[in-house]
Amino acid sequence: VKMLHPHKSRLERRIVGSTNRWRFPKDSFSGDLLGLSQRFKALGVDFDEALKNPDRLCIAQLQKLFSENSKHKDIQTGEADVILECLGFKWELHQPQFFQSETLTKLYLAALARDTVSPLKELEKLLRAQSPGKTKERDPVKKIIISLKINDPQVTKFAFATALKSLYLSEADIHADNVLGVLASAHILQFNSLFQRCVAVMMNGLSPSTIKKFYLAGCKYKEEQLTTACENWLAMNLVPLVGTQIHLRKIPQDLLYKVLKSPRLFTFSEFHLLKTVLLWVFLQLNNKVQTIPIYETVLAFFTSFSKNCCFLDQDVGQRLMPLFLCLHLHGITRGKDLEQLRHMNFFPESWLIRVAANHYHALENGGDMVHLKDLNTHAVRFGLLFTQEHTTHSETIAIYGFFFEIKGIKHDSTSYSFYMQRMRHTDLELPDVGCENSPVSLLAERLVRYEIRAQTLVDGKWQEFRTNEIRQKFGFTKSSCKSHILKIQTVGIPIYASFAFIFPVS
């Protein structure tokens, strides 16, 4: 691509739209312009007249015709066939490269119909110019000037130059720092192969600092593959990674809502998830804060609001209500954590009363969670983040007087297993698990519905391993204390292991 001297473009893009289009099956072309023009003639359409309205042509078939004819042709470096006026510059382009872009193809055909007496003959010359043979035998091809006006601020001169370069070099480098501009350029040029390359770069470059930009780009261009990748990545990393960085502020509310609704969401515990969402709200309301505050600062902020009305019932909190309806507040059982919820005056009193009533009922009935039915929407959730440093990793959890250890073991470089097992309270150092004031159940057995899931990212794709939903009575004997073991083989690391369970009515 050769960029000529700066020259402000005055020509407007001239493509006449139409709702009527002639389309043909992919195999209906004879492989040359004669066959193409004959198809139009059979429909009673003059090919030269049709070229004056390029949107009515089957552009994809015309592109295929030229690309097939020039498939083995070397990249041209000689005199340009087309001058593109865009972004205040003139860009020299060669056929057949510019036919990869649907937009440039339409502009070229419109200019051809405008500036030549017989557009069909000019296209035939263009095809002959590509064909094998001596240069001197080829007819001269009329040089065409086309103009493209771009108003998208994402499209910089450098990004647009990269897009045009990709017409010539299919493996032209695309870097994460300018991929949004190249993506926007590819969209404007209707250069699909480049657009998909940009999507791949973005999917492989997700991070706390890029997640918002890439997600919004996916929404703007209706690229479901990219938006889904953003949702899946954030579902894993919201609590352990994004929730520890100031980039949490940038997460759009609609994306956060989708992630909180996702059954794939990873969290260490329900209280960890709650603190992350509270921090997100805090950062939305305190734009000048540039570092992650400690939790006590967030707690003090919400406690400072009027005691006459809880935060979620106030105007500022009403629009955030759907986010907190996604949380499994019944999964927060520690008395200290529940006391903080009441003290900060964040939730409606009716919510807290319902949570407390369910806790009391479960305690009085041996742990039965009668109000919980579905594992995806109601389960008590805990998680382990198994990293490169771990050979074994475990956490102890306590709920309604029952104690469980959730555990992961690395067997070799690619083999892991995850399970949960019931523990006796006498085997635990209760202060170490934060349950020194917890009740202790003396029931020999506890019926549990549970599922274990492990997820990891390998070569840009998520691998997911899971058990089926299992019903099992957990006792203290060696044969009854351990859950089903989820065994996995993967080269991915870290591994996000999730444990979801409900105590059904015994």
H or E stretch including 465?
A: strand 461-466
Pairing of strands 415-423, 402-410: antiparallel
Q: What is the pTM for the complete model shown?
A: 0.84
Q: What is the pLDDT of residue 475?
A: 95
Q: How far is CA 187 from CA 105, 152, 190, in A?
A: 14, 11, 5
pLDDT at position 47 over 80: no
pLDDT at 104 over 50: yes
Average pLDDT over residues 328-353: 92
Within 10 Å of residue 165's Cβ, how many Cβ atoms? 15
The tokens of 423 are what?
């523990």
Please state, in angstroms and rounded to a whole number, the distance separating the CA atoms of residues 91 and 204.
31
What torsion, rounded to 10 degrees, do the Cα atoms 308, 312, 316, 321 define? -160
Q: Which of 259, 356, 269, 351 is nearest to 311 (CA)?
A: 351
Place of tokens 């003959």: 121
Regarding predicted confidence, which is higher, 352 or 432?
352
Percent of the chain exceeding pLDDT 70 equals 77
In this structure, which CATH number among 3.30.310, 3.80.10, 1.20.1300, 2.60.40 belongs to the domain 375-502? 2.60.40
For the chain, residues classed under CATH 2.60.40 are 375-502
- Asked if 39 and 65 touch (Cβ cutoff 8 Å), the reply is no
Give the three-class secondary structure for 382.
strand
Give 21's pLDDT tier (boundaries 50, 70, 90).
Answer: very low
Say which residue, 456 or 62, is predicted with more confidence.
456
pLDDT at 476 over 80: yes
Higher pLDDT, 237 or 136: 237
Task: Answer with the residue of higher pLDDT: 238 or 33.
Answer: 238
Question: Is the confidence at residue 72, as pLDDT, over 50?
Answer: no
Residue 139 pLDDT grade (very low, low, confident, very high; cuts 50, 70, 90): low
pLDDT in tens, 271-280: 999 999 999 9
* Residue 267, pLDDT above cutoff 90: yes
pLDDT for 16 equals 25
Rounded average pLDDT over 138-167: 86
Instruction: Please determine, for residue 85, whether its predicted confidence score (pLDDT) is greater than 50.
Output: yes
The DSSP bridge pattern shows strands 380-386 and 495-502 to be: antiparallel
Decide if pLDDT at 332 tops 90: yes
